[in-house]
Amino acid sequence: MLFSSIPFLYYFLPIVIALYFIVPFKLKNFILLISSLFFYFYGEPVYVILMLVACLSSYIHGLLIDKCRGTKWAKFWVGSSVTISLLMLGFFKYSNFFIENVNAIFKSDIALLGIALPIGISFYTFQTLSYTIDVYRGDAKVQKSFVRLATYVALFPQLIAGPIVRYTTVEEDLTERKHSFDNFGTGATRFAIGLAKKVLIADVLYEFCNAFRASDDKSVVFYWLYALAFSMHIYFDFSGYSDMAIGLGRIFGFRFLENFNYPYISKTVAEFWRRWHMSLGTWFRDYVYIPLGGNRVLKWRWLFNTLVVWLLTGFWHGAAWTFIIWGLYFALFLMLEKFLLNKFFEKIPRVFSHIYVLVAVMISFVVFNAADLAEALSDIGGMFGTLGVPLWSKETAYYLSSYGVVFIVGIIGATPLVKNAVLKLKENKKACTVIDVIEPVFVAVLLIIVTACFVNGSFSPFLYFRF
Protein backbone atom coordinates (compact mmCIF):
# COMPACT_ATOMS: atom_id res chain seq x y z
CA MET A 1 0.00 0.00 0.00
CA LEU A 2 1.46 3.33 -1.08
CA PHE A 3 1.15 6.49 1.00
CA SER A 4 0.41 8.21 -2.29
CA SER A 5 -2.78 6.28 -3.02
CA ILE A 6 -6.52 6.59 -2.49
CA PRO A 7 -6.80 3.40 -0.34
CA PHE A 8 -4.21 4.70 2.11
CA LEU A 9 -5.32 8.33 2.29
CA TYR A 10 -9.07 7.87 2.43
CA TYR A 11 -9.61 4.42 3.92
CA PHE A 12 -6.68 2.99 5.87
CA LEU A 13 -5.29 6.15 7.50
CA PRO A 14 -8.62 7.68 8.71
CA ILE A 15 -9.71 4.34 10.21
CA VAL A 16 -6.37 3.86 11.99
CA ILE A 17 -6.37 7.42 13.36
CA ALA A 18 -9.96 7.05 14.60
CA LEU A 19 -9.24 3.73 16.36
CA TYR A 20 -5.96 4.98 17.76
CA PHE A 21 -7.43 8.04 19.46
CA ILE A 22 -10.54 6.21 20.70
CA VAL A 23 -8.75 3.48 22.67
CA PRO A 24 -6.99 4.10 26.02
CA PHE A 25 -3.24 4.64 26.01
CA LYS A 26 -2.41 1.06 27.06
CA LEU A 27 -3.96 -0.21 23.82
CA LYS A 28 -2.48 2.36 21.45
CA ASN A 29 0.67 0.34 20.69
CA PHE A 30 -1.50 -2.70 20.02
CA ILE A 31 -3.64 -0.73 17.55
CA LEU A 32 -0.51 0.55 15.79
CA LEU A 33 0.97 -2.96 15.65
CA ILE A 34 -2.16 -4.57 14.20
CA SER A 35 -2.59 -1.69 11.75
CA SER A 36 1.06 -1.94 10.69
CA LEU A 37 0.82 -5.69 10.15
CA PHE A 38 -2.29 -5.19 8.02
CA PHE A 39 -0.52 -2.40 6.11
CA TYR A 40 2.36 -4.76 5.32
CA PHE A 41 0.05 -7.72 4.67
CA TYR A 42 -1.82 -5.63 2.08
CA GLY A 43 1.30 -5.53 -0.08
CA GLU A 44 3.26 -8.58 1.10
CA PRO A 45 0.83 -11.26 2.43
CA VAL A 46 3.47 -13.98 2.79
CA TYR A 47 6.42 -11.89 3.90
CA VAL A 48 4.59 -10.49 6.91
CA ILE A 49 5.63 -13.79 8.52
CA LEU A 50 9.27 -12.97 7.76
CA MET A 51 8.93 -9.61 9.47
CA LEU A 52 7.33 -11.22 12.53
CA VAL A 53 10.21 -13.73 12.66
CA ALA A 54 12.65 -10.78 12.61
CA CYS A 55 10.71 -9.15 15.47
CA LEU A 56 10.64 -12.38 17.50
CA SER A 57 14.34 -13.04 16.92
CA SER A 58 15.27 -9.55 18.11
CA TYR A 59 12.96 -9.80 21.11
CA ILE A 60 14.35 -13.15 22.28
CA HIS A 61 17.96 -12.19 21.63
CA GLY A 62 17.50 -8.92 23.50
CA LEU A 63 16.25 -10.83 26.57
CA LEU A 64 19.12 -13.32 26.34
CA ILE A 65 21.74 -10.59 25.94
CA ASP A 66 20.36 -8.77 28.98
CA LYS A 67 20.19 -11.96 31.05
CA CYS A 68 23.79 -12.88 30.22
CA ARG A 69 25.19 -9.36 30.51
CA GLY A 70 28.82 -9.33 31.59
CA THR A 71 29.50 -12.88 30.42
CA LYS A 72 30.82 -14.36 27.18
CA TRP A 73 27.31 -15.56 26.41
CA ALA A 74 26.13 -11.98 25.90
CA LYS A 75 28.65 -11.69 23.06
CA PHE A 76 27.48 -15.01 21.68
CA TRP A 77 23.84 -13.96 21.65
CA VAL A 78 24.48 -10.60 19.98
CA GLY A 79 26.55 -12.44 17.38
CA SER A 80 23.68 -14.88 16.89
CA SER A 81 21.21 -12.03 16.45
CA VAL A 82 23.39 -10.25 13.90
CA THR A 83 24.02 -13.49 12.00
CA ILE A 84 20.34 -14.42 11.75
CA SER A 85 19.34 -10.92 10.65
CA LEU A 86 22.05 -10.72 7.98
CA LEU A 87 21.32 -14.25 6.74
CA MET A 88 17.66 -13.38 6.21
CA LEU A 89 18.60 -10.16 4.42
CA GLY A 90 21.27 -11.91 2.37
CA PHE A 91 19.04 -14.80 1.32
CA PHE A 92 16.07 -12.75 0.19
CA LYS A 93 17.94 -9.80 -1.29
CA TYR A 94 21.26 -11.09 -2.60
CA SER A 95 20.88 -14.81 -3.45
CA ASN A 96 20.13 -14.26 -7.12
CA PHE A 97 22.95 -11.72 -7.45
CA PHE A 98 25.52 -14.23 -6.21
CA ILE A 99 24.06 -17.05 -8.34
CA GLU A 100 24.20 -14.85 -11.45
CA ASN A 101 27.84 -13.98 -10.81
CA VAL A 102 28.81 -17.60 -10.08
CA ASN A 103 27.15 -18.62 -13.35
CA ALA A 104 29.01 -15.87 -15.23
CA ILE A 105 32.42 -16.75 -13.74
CA PHE A 106 32.24 -20.54 -13.87
CA LYS A 107 29.95 -20.86 -16.91
CA SER A 108 27.55 -22.83 -14.74
CA ASP A 109 23.77 -23.00 -15.06
CA ILE A 110 22.49 -22.75 -11.49
CA ALA A 111 18.81 -21.85 -11.51
CA LEU A 112 17.82 -18.55 -9.95
CA LEU A 113 15.63 -18.68 -6.87
CA GLY A 114 11.99 -17.82 -7.47
CA ILE A 115 11.75 -15.37 -4.58
CA ALA A 116 10.60 -11.75 -4.58
CA LEU A 117 12.36 -9.06 -2.57
CA PRO A 118 10.37 -8.38 0.62
CA ILE A 119 9.42 -4.69 0.73
CA GLY A 120 11.42 -2.70 3.27
CA ILE A 121 13.59 -5.61 4.43
CA SER A 122 16.75 -3.47 4.26
CA PHE A 123 15.18 -0.90 6.57
CA TYR A 124 13.63 -3.09 9.24
CA THR A 125 16.67 -5.40 9.32
CA PHE A 126 18.91 -2.45 10.17
CA GLN A 127 16.45 -1.43 12.88
CA THR A 128 16.47 -4.86 14.51
CA LEU A 129 20.25 -4.96 14.27
CA SER A 130 20.61 -1.59 15.98
CA TYR A 131 18.29 -2.72 18.78
CA THR A 132 20.19 -5.86 19.80
CA ILE A 133 23.59 -4.20 19.35
CA ASP A 134 22.53 -1.22 21.49
CA VAL A 135 21.19 -3.56 24.19
CA TYR A 136 24.54 -5.39 24.15
CA ARG A 137 26.47 -2.11 24.35
CA GLY A 138 24.28 -0.85 27.16
CA ASP A 139 23.03 2.06 25.08
CA ALA A 140 19.43 0.82 25.27
CA LYS A 141 17.40 -0.96 27.91
CA VAL A 142 16.02 -4.34 26.94
CA GLN A 143 12.36 -4.20 25.90
CA LYS A 144 10.42 -6.86 27.81
CA SER A 145 7.14 -6.29 25.97
CA PHE A 146 6.97 -8.03 22.61
CA VAL A 147 4.12 -5.75 21.51
CA ARG A 148 6.22 -2.63 22.10
CA LEU A 149 9.27 -4.03 20.31
CA ALA A 150 7.21 -5.30 17.38
CA THR A 151 5.48 -1.92 17.18
CA TYR A 152 8.88 -0.26 16.88
CA VAL A 153 9.99 -2.59 14.09
CA ALA A 154 6.69 -2.74 12.17
CA LEU A 155 5.48 0.85 12.66
CA PHE A 156 3.92 1.55 9.27
CA PRO A 157 5.01 5.21 8.82
CA GLN A 158 8.66 4.18 8.48
CA LEU A 159 8.33 0.45 7.77
CA ILE A 160 8.84 0.17 4.03
CA ALA A 161 11.23 2.98 3.21
CA GLY A 162 12.62 4.50 6.37
CA PRO A 163 14.02 6.63 7.74
CA ILE A 164 16.00 4.03 9.69
CA VAL A 165 14.69 4.77 13.18
CA ARG A 166 16.95 3.72 16.06
CA TYR A 167 15.28 2.05 19.02
CA THR A 168 16.95 4.59 21.32
CA THR A 169 15.17 7.39 19.41
CA VAL A 170 11.67 6.08 20.22
CA GLU A 171 12.40 4.08 23.38
CA GLU A 172 10.57 6.54 25.65
CA ASP A 173 7.82 7.21 23.11
CA LEU A 174 6.88 3.52 23.13
CA THR A 175 5.95 3.70 26.80
CA GLU A 176 4.98 7.34 27.27
CA ARG A 177 4.21 9.85 24.55
CA LYS A 178 2.13 13.00 24.40
CA HIS A 179 -0.69 13.73 21.98
CA SER A 180 -1.99 17.20 21.21
CA PHE A 181 -3.76 19.20 18.52
CA ASP A 182 -0.48 20.99 17.90
CA ASN A 183 1.38 17.70 17.25
CA PHE A 184 -1.47 16.48 15.08
CA GLY A 185 -1.53 19.68 13.03
CA THR A 186 2.25 19.81 12.65
CA GLY A 187 2.31 16.16 11.62
CA ALA A 188 -0.53 16.57 9.13
CA THR A 189 1.17 19.57 7.53
CA ARG A 190 4.49 17.73 7.25
CA PHE A 191 2.71 14.72 5.73
CA ALA A 192 0.87 16.87 3.17
CA ILE A 193 4.07 18.65 2.12
CA GLY A 194 5.87 15.32 1.73
CA LEU A 195 2.97 13.91 -0.28
CA ALA A 196 2.99 16.95 -2.59
CA LYS A 197 6.76 16.69 -3.07
CA LYS A 198 6.38 13.08 -4.06
CA VAL A 199 3.32 13.34 -6.35
CA LEU A 200 3.59 16.84 -7.82
CA ILE A 201 7.36 17.03 -8.31
CA ALA A 202 9.04 13.60 -8.06
CA ASP A 203 6.45 11.74 -10.13
CA VAL A 204 6.41 14.41 -12.86
CA LEU A 205 10.21 14.31 -13.09
CA TYR A 206 9.93 10.51 -13.31
CA GLU A 207 7.75 11.02 -16.40
CA PHE A 208 10.51 13.19 -17.90
CA CYS A 209 13.06 10.42 -17.26
CA ASN A 210 10.80 7.91 -18.99
CA ALA A 211 10.37 10.28 -21.94
CA PHE A 212 14.15 10.53 -22.20
CA ARG A 213 14.54 6.76 -22.28
CA ALA A 214 11.87 6.45 -25.00
CA SER A 215 13.33 9.23 -27.15
CA ASP A 216 15.17 8.53 -30.41
CA ASP A 217 16.27 12.15 -30.74
CA LYS A 218 18.68 12.60 -27.85
CA SER A 219 21.23 15.37 -27.48
CA VAL A 220 24.04 16.25 -25.08
CA VAL A 221 21.76 18.75 -23.34
CA PHE A 222 19.00 16.13 -23.15
CA TYR A 223 21.41 13.76 -21.35
CA TRP A 224 22.28 16.46 -18.82
CA LEU A 225 18.61 17.31 -18.33
CA TYR A 226 17.94 13.63 -17.67
CA ALA A 227 20.74 13.54 -15.08
CA LEU A 228 19.31 16.65 -13.41
CA ALA A 229 15.74 15.32 -13.56
CA PHE A 230 16.61 11.97 -12.00
CA SER A 231 18.77 13.61 -9.31
CA MET A 232 15.85 15.81 -8.31
CA HIS A 233 13.36 12.94 -8.72
CA ILE A 234 15.17 10.68 -6.25
CA TYR A 235 15.57 13.57 -3.80
CA PHE A 236 11.90 14.59 -3.81
CA ASP A 237 10.77 10.97 -3.94
CA PHE A 238 12.80 9.87 -0.94
CA SER A 239 12.75 13.09 1.09
CA GLY A 240 9.01 13.34 0.39
CA TYR A 241 8.52 9.86 1.82
CA SER A 242 10.66 10.79 4.83
CA ASP A 243 8.52 13.90 5.36
CA MET A 244 5.38 11.75 5.24
CA ALA A 245 6.87 9.23 7.69
CA ILE A 246 8.01 11.97 10.11
CA GLY A 247 4.60 13.66 9.85
CA LEU A 248 2.67 10.46 10.50
CA GLY A 249 4.96 9.65 13.40
CA ARG A 250 4.25 13.08 14.89
CA ILE A 251 0.47 12.50 14.59
CA PHE A 252 0.85 9.32 16.66
CA GLY A 253 3.18 10.96 19.19
CA PHE A 254 6.56 9.76 17.86
CA ARG A 255 9.41 12.11 17.03
CA PHE A 256 11.57 10.64 14.27
CA LEU A 257 14.87 12.30 13.44
CA GLU A 258 15.31 14.24 10.21
CA ASN A 259 16.59 12.29 7.23
CA PHE A 260 17.44 15.06 4.74
CA ASN A 261 18.87 18.53 5.19
CA TYR A 262 18.98 20.16 1.74
CA PRO A 263 21.91 18.07 0.44
CA TYR A 264 22.12 19.89 -2.90
CA ILE A 265 23.47 23.04 -1.26
CA SER A 266 26.60 21.15 -0.17
CA LYS A 267 30.10 22.35 -1.00
CA THR A 268 31.80 18.94 -0.69
CA VAL A 269 30.77 15.34 -1.24
CA ALA A 270 31.42 14.67 2.45
CA GLU A 271 28.96 17.42 3.35
CA PHE A 272 26.47 16.01 0.84
CA TRP A 273 26.47 12.70 2.70
CA ARG A 274 26.05 14.45 6.03
CA ARG A 275 22.83 15.90 4.60
CA TRP A 276 21.54 13.01 2.43
CA HIS A 277 19.78 9.96 3.94
CA MET A 278 21.24 10.87 7.31
CA SER A 279 19.74 7.88 9.12
CA LEU A 280 21.67 5.48 6.85
CA GLY A 281 24.90 7.46 7.06
CA THR A 282 24.87 7.58 10.86
CA TRP A 283 23.93 3.88 11.01
CA PHE A 284 27.00 2.84 9.01
CA ARG A 285 29.12 5.30 11.01
CA ASP A 286 28.07 3.92 14.40
CA TYR A 287 27.83 0.21 13.59
CA VAL A 288 30.52 -0.30 10.92
CA TYR A 289 32.91 2.64 10.50
CA ILE A 290 33.68 3.40 14.16
CA PRO A 291 33.95 -0.29 15.20
CA LEU A 292 36.48 -0.72 12.37
CA GLY A 293 38.54 2.11 13.88
CA GLY A 294 37.06 5.11 12.08
CA ASN A 295 39.66 7.73 11.18
CA ARG A 296 41.74 7.30 14.33
CA VAL A 297 43.98 4.76 12.62
CA LEU A 298 46.89 4.66 10.19
CA LYS A 299 46.24 6.12 6.74
CA TRP A 300 46.09 2.75 4.96
CA ARG A 301 43.60 1.48 7.53
CA TRP A 302 41.42 4.57 7.12
CA LEU A 303 41.37 3.94 3.36
CA PHE A 304 40.34 0.34 4.02
CA ASN A 305 37.60 1.41 6.48
CA THR A 306 36.24 3.94 3.99
CA LEU A 307 36.18 1.39 1.16
CA VAL A 308 34.37 -1.16 3.34
CA VAL A 309 31.70 1.30 4.47
CA TRP A 310 30.99 2.57 0.96
CA LEU A 311 31.08 -0.89 -0.57
CA LEU A 312 28.41 -1.90 1.96
CA THR A 313 26.48 1.36 1.42
CA GLY A 314 26.28 0.70 -2.30
CA PHE A 315 25.41 -2.98 -1.82
CA TRP A 316 22.71 -2.07 0.72
CA HIS A 317 20.92 -0.09 -1.99
CA GLY A 318 20.63 -3.00 -4.35
CA ALA A 319 21.97 -6.34 -5.53
CA ALA A 320 23.69 -5.12 -8.70
CA TRP A 321 27.15 -4.01 -9.77
CA THR A 322 25.84 -0.54 -10.57
CA PHE A 323 25.07 0.01 -6.88
CA ILE A 324 28.48 -1.30 -5.81
CA ILE A 325 30.23 0.98 -8.32
CA TRP A 326 28.02 3.84 -7.10
CA GLY A 327 29.15 3.30 -3.51
CA LEU A 328 32.84 3.00 -4.39
CA TYR A 329 32.51 6.10 -6.58
CA PHE A 330 31.66 8.14 -3.49
CA ALA A 331 34.47 6.48 -1.53
CA LEU A 332 36.90 7.72 -4.18
CA PHE A 333 35.62 11.30 -3.91
CA LEU A 334 35.83 11.24 -0.11
CA MET A 335 39.46 10.13 -0.34
CA LEU A 336 40.27 12.77 -2.94
CA GLU A 337 38.67 15.46 -0.79
CA LYS A 338 40.53 14.43 2.33
CA PHE A 339 43.98 14.35 0.72
CA LEU A 340 43.73 16.87 -2.11
CA LEU A 341 40.52 18.67 -3.04
CA ASN A 342 39.61 20.29 0.30
CA LYS A 343 42.84 22.29 0.33
CA PHE A 344 42.22 23.34 -3.27
CA PHE A 345 38.61 24.41 -2.64
CA GLU A 346 39.69 26.61 0.28
CA LYS A 347 41.53 28.83 -2.20
CA ILE A 348 38.76 29.30 -4.79
CA PRO A 349 35.25 30.82 -4.69
CA ARG A 350 32.63 28.52 -3.12
CA VAL A 351 30.50 28.53 -6.25
CA PHE A 352 33.04 26.26 -7.97
CA SER A 353 33.01 23.68 -5.19
CA HIS A 354 29.22 23.75 -5.27
CA ILE A 355 29.20 23.09 -9.03
CA TYR A 356 31.71 20.26 -8.50
CA VAL A 357 29.38 18.57 -5.99
CA LEU A 358 26.33 18.92 -8.23
CA VAL A 359 28.13 17.45 -11.24
CA ALA A 360 29.63 14.60 -9.20
CA VAL A 361 26.25 13.75 -7.67
CA MET A 362 24.37 13.90 -10.98
CA ILE A 363 26.86 11.51 -12.58
CA SER A 364 26.53 9.19 -9.60
CA PHE A 365 22.77 9.03 -9.94
CA VAL A 366 23.07 8.27 -13.65
CA VAL A 367 25.02 5.17 -12.59
CA PHE A 368 22.53 4.49 -9.81
CA ASN A 369 19.56 4.46 -12.20
CA ALA A 370 21.19 2.53 -15.02
CA ALA A 371 19.95 -0.98 -15.80
CA ASP A 372 23.57 -2.17 -16.05
CA LEU A 373 27.12 -0.87 -16.37
CA ALA A 374 26.89 -0.67 -20.16
CA GLU A 375 23.89 1.67 -19.94
CA ALA A 376 25.62 3.73 -17.25
CA LEU A 377 28.72 4.21 -19.42
CA SER A 378 26.54 5.05 -22.43
CA ASP A 379 24.60 7.70 -20.48
CA ILE A 380 27.78 9.28 -19.14
CA GLY A 381 29.25 9.21 -22.63
CA GLY A 382 26.16 11.01 -23.91
CA MET A 383 26.60 13.70 -21.25
CA PHE A 384 30.15 14.37 -22.41
CA GLY A 385 29.49 14.16 -26.13
CA THR A 386 31.22 10.86 -26.97
CA LEU A 387 28.18 9.20 -28.59
CA GLY A 388 28.05 11.45 -31.61
CA VAL A 389 24.70 13.01 -30.68
CA PRO A 390 24.13 16.73 -31.35
CA LEU A 391 24.42 19.34 -28.61
CA TRP A 392 20.76 20.31 -29.03
CA SER A 393 17.66 18.92 -30.71
CA LYS A 394 14.04 19.88 -31.34
CA GLU A 395 12.86 17.12 -29.00
CA THR A 396 15.11 18.47 -26.25
CA ALA A 397 13.52 21.89 -26.70
CA TYR A 398 10.04 20.36 -26.61
CA TYR A 399 10.57 18.47 -23.34
CA LEU A 400 12.41 21.37 -21.71
CA SER A 401 9.51 23.70 -22.48
CA SER A 402 6.99 21.08 -21.30
CA TYR A 403 8.71 20.36 -17.98
CA GLY A 404 10.51 23.68 -17.45
CA VAL A 405 8.20 24.86 -14.66
CA VAL A 406 8.70 21.61 -12.71
CA PHE A 407 12.47 21.94 -13.10
CA ILE A 408 12.34 25.48 -11.70
CA VAL A 409 10.06 24.47 -8.81
CA GLY A 410 12.31 21.49 -8.09
CA ILE A 411 15.50 23.55 -8.07
CA ILE A 412 13.98 26.13 -5.71
CA GLY A 413 12.44 23.41 -3.53
CA ALA A 414 15.80 21.66 -3.16
CA THR A 415 17.12 24.73 -1.33
CA PRO A 416 16.04 26.20 2.04
CA LEU A 417 14.82 29.42 0.40
CA VAL A 418 11.10 28.79 0.96
CA LYS A 419 11.61 27.43 4.48
CA ASN A 420 13.78 30.38 5.49
CA ALA A 421 11.26 32.84 4.04
CA VAL A 422 8.42 31.29 6.07
CA LEU A 423 10.50 31.29 9.26
CA LYS A 424 11.40 34.92 8.66
CA LEU A 425 7.73 35.84 8.25
CA LYS A 426 6.84 34.00 11.45
CA GLU A 427 9.10 36.36 13.38
CA ASN A 428 6.39 38.97 12.81
CA LYS A 429 3.35 38.35 15.04
CA LYS A 430 0.79 39.51 12.48
CA ALA A 431 2.38 37.50 9.69
CA CYS A 432 2.58 34.47 12.02
CA THR A 433 -1.15 34.74 12.74
CA VAL A 434 -1.92 34.90 9.02
CA ILE A 435 0.28 31.86 8.36
CA ASP A 436 -1.47 29.91 11.13
CA VAL A 437 -4.81 30.62 9.44
CA ILE A 438 -3.56 29.86 5.93
CA GLU A 439 -1.70 26.67 6.85
CA PRO A 440 -4.73 24.32 7.19
CA VAL A 441 -6.20 25.77 3.99
CA PHE A 442 -2.86 25.17 2.27
CA VAL A 443 -2.83 21.54 3.47
CA ALA A 444 -6.40 21.01 2.26
CA VAL A 445 -5.59 22.46 -1.16
CA LEU A 446 -2.53 20.23 -1.49
CA LEU A 447 -4.61 17.15 -0.65
CA ILE A 448 -7.26 18.15 -3.20
CA ILE A 449 -4.66 18.63 -5.94
CA VAL A 450 -2.94 15.35 -5.11
CA THR A 451 -6.26 13.51 -5.02
CA ALA A 452 -7.09 14.95 -8.44
CA CYS A 453 -3.84 13.41 -9.71
CA PHE A 454 -4.88 10.03 -8.29
CA VAL A 455 -8.33 10.23 -9.87
CA ASN A 456 -6.70 11.18 -13.15
CA GLY A 457 -4.91 7.86 -13.05
CA SER A 458 -1.36 9.09 -12.52
CA PHE A 459 1.05 6.27 -11.69
CA SER A 460 2.89 6.95 -8.43
CA PRO A 461 5.75 4.48 -7.97
CA PHE A 462 8.19 4.75 -5.08
CA LEU A 463 11.82 4.10 -5.95
CA TYR A 464 13.03 2.95 -2.54
CA PHE A 465 10.51 0.09 -2.37
CA ARG A 466 13.12 -2.04 -4.10
CA PHE A 467 15.49 -1.64 -1.16
Range of the domain at 317: 183-461
Low-confidence ranges of the chain (pLDDT < 70): 457-467
- Residue 335 domain-assigned (yes or no): yes
Q: What pLDDT, on the 0 to 100 scale, is given for residue 212?
A: 96
Domain membership of residue 166 (yes or no) is yes
Q: Both 49 and 190 in a single domain?
A: no
Q: Is residue 466 part of a domain?
A: no
What pLDDT was estimated at residue 464?
Answer: 54
Same domain as 53, residue 32: yes
50 domain residue, yes or no: yes
Whether 409 and 294 share a structural domain? yes
pLDDT of residue 181: 92
Of the residues 107, 142, 177, the one at which a domain ends: 177
Domain assignment of residue 467, yes or no: no
Domain count, the chain: 2
* pLDDT, tens only, 128-143: 999 999 999 999 999 9
Residues 145 and 190 in one domain: no
Containing 372, the helix (H) or strand (E) segment is: none
Same domain flag for 378 and 320: yes
Please identify, among 151, 177, 203, the residue that sits at the C-terminal boundary of a domain. Answer: 177
Same domain, 90 and 216: no
Of 179, 122, 159, the C-alpha closest to 35 is 159
Query: Do residue 65 and residue 207 come from a single domain?
Result: no
| Per-residue buried b or exposed e for 75-99, using 16+ beta carbons within 10 Å of the residue's own CB | eebbebbbebbeebbeebbeebbee
pLDDT digits (tens, 9 = 90+) for 205-222: 999 999 999 999 999 999
Domain shared by 54 and 197, yes or no: no
pLDDT in the model for residue 310: 97
Which of the residues 179, 233, 317, 354 is marked catalytic?
317
Within-domain flag for 80: yes
State the pLDDT at residue 93: 95
Alpha carbons 385 and 89: distance in angstroms, whole number = 41
The answer as to whether 32 is a domain residue is: yes
Give pLDDT, residue 4. 85
With beta carbons less than 8 A apart as the criterion, state whether 16 and 92 touch.
Answer: no
Question: Rounded to an integer, what distance in angstroms lies between the CA atom of residue 74 and that of residue 56?
Answer: 18
**Same domain for 290 and 212:** yes
Residue 66: the pLDDT is 97
Same domain assignment for residues 326 and 456? yes
The domain boundary, picked from 177, 209, 224, lies at 177
Reply yes or no on whether 317 is catalytic: yes
pTM of the model: 0.94
Q: Which pLDDT value is given to residue 48?
A: 94
Give the number of residues written for the chain.
Answer: 467
Q: Does 281 lie in the same domain as 139? A: no
Q: Which of 269, 268, 273, 243 is nearest to 258 (CA)?
A: 243
Residues 450 and 359 in one domain: yes
Q: Identify the pLDDT of residue 463.
A: 59
